[in-house]
Amino acid sequence: MTVSVLVPSSLSREAEDKREATRKLGYVARAATIFRADRLVVYPDRDGETGQFDGGFVSTVLRYAATPPYLRNEAWGMRDELEYAGVLPPLRAMSQTGSESTGSGSSRQGIVTEVGPEGRVRVNCGLQHPISLNVPPKMAVEEGERVTIRISSRRPVRAKLVDEPLPGLSIEQTDLQAALGREDAGVRIAASRFGAELTVGRLETLAGRTKRDGMTVAFGAPERGLPAILGIEESAIEASSGQDDAADNGVEPTADPGFDLWLNTVPDQGSEVVRTEEALFATLAPLSLRE
């Protein structure tokens, strides 16, 4: 069961400057972290991109935000896109901080700083000094590669290199259809003001499915929602979302075959525009509730 959040490359299109664009992306990463998303996917919206805040900028800032603080300098160095990285809010991901990162059997990211002889490597994983570890059989690593470290004790240091996915939020770039077509996509939801209103009854139906199958939730950009990005008539979405749900699985018919349903999670919004970072909190919070 996985949770994926999809945002467009035009996410920062309304930002007045790089500082504001960076801050906005920080809160997108924070929302995804708070609600334990496994993947934060940036899908292309070339027509909506403006100026310097394109998909490359968006992905770089999000990847930096998702990098554990103790690895940022070594992993990124100095980059123009990260000029205002200091305004990013700390994610404090449970996979990287607190009891889960220091207790027995906890995992954290590391960077291979040196590949030595006899199957040993030196790894920077945020401890006082890089540590020397054995490379597991059939696992090949290179200098500069990020790896997963399992720490069983800090004093004295006891740790091992494990052949597992990196802990924490994964930032990816792929097109919308590919993200929706993943085998582990789960319930595919389009967040839009033109979708069906999220009610208590509808949430009760969804909760069981998202807990069992996971979910993929897609969002639009400022002043350019999913209907505009996909070239779908808003009236078609409203008509589809208004149909009676006759399906046994509780997923409603939709105007776009890539989604299982279009969902309005702020049905009586008091502002003309709900920003993408606000929509993430408003949408992921109720969808994270359990039966």
pLDDT of residue 109: 92
| Alpha carbon distance 13, 222 (integer Å) | 7
Amino acid sitting at position 126: G
- Higher pLDDT, residue 187 or 138: 187
Number of domains into which the chain is organized: 2
170 vs 97, higher pLDDT: 170
The rounded distance, in Å, linking the Cα atoms of 97 and 26 is: 18
- Tell me what pLDDT residue 94 has: 73
Give pTM, 2 decimals.
0.88
| pLDDT of residue 291 exceeding 80 | no
Stated length of the chain: 291
Q: In the chain, helix, strand, coil percent, each to 5? A: 30, 25, 45
Q: Domain for residue 99, yes or no?
A: no
> If you average pLDDT over every residue of the chain, what do you get?
88
pLDDT value at 234 more than 80? yes
Confidence of residue 272 (pLDDT cuts 50, 70, 90): confident
The average pLDDT across 264-284 equals 92
- The whole-angstrom separation of Cα 127 and Cα 125 is 6
Question: Where does a domain end: 162, 194, 210?
Answer: 162
What percent of the chain is modeled with pLDDT above 70? 90
**CATH value at residue 209:** 3.40.1280.10
Report the pLDDT value the prediction gives residue 247, as an integer from 0 to 100.
43
Same domain, 18 and 80: yes
CA distance 260 to 247: 11
d(CA 140, CA 138): 7
Q: What CATH code is carried by the domain that includes residue 146?
A: 2.40.50.140
Instruction: Write down which residue in 162, 191, 208 finishes a domain.
Output: 162
What per-residue confidence (pLDDT) applies to 249?
Answer: 42
Residues 231 and 128 in one domain: no
For residue 256, the model assigns a pLDDT of 64
Residue 262 belongs to what domain range?
3-91+169-288
String of DSSP letters for 167-188: SS-EEEE--HHHHHT-TT--EE
Tens-place pLDDT, residues 27-83 = 999 999 999 999 999 999 999 998 789 999 999 999 999 999 999 999 998 899 999
pLDDT score, position 202: 92
Identify whether 100 is part of a domain.
no
Tell whether 19 and 55 lie within a shared domain.
yes
- Please state, as a whole number, how many other Cβ atoms lie within 10 Å of the Cβ of residue 148: 18
Residue 203, pLDDT > 50, answer yes
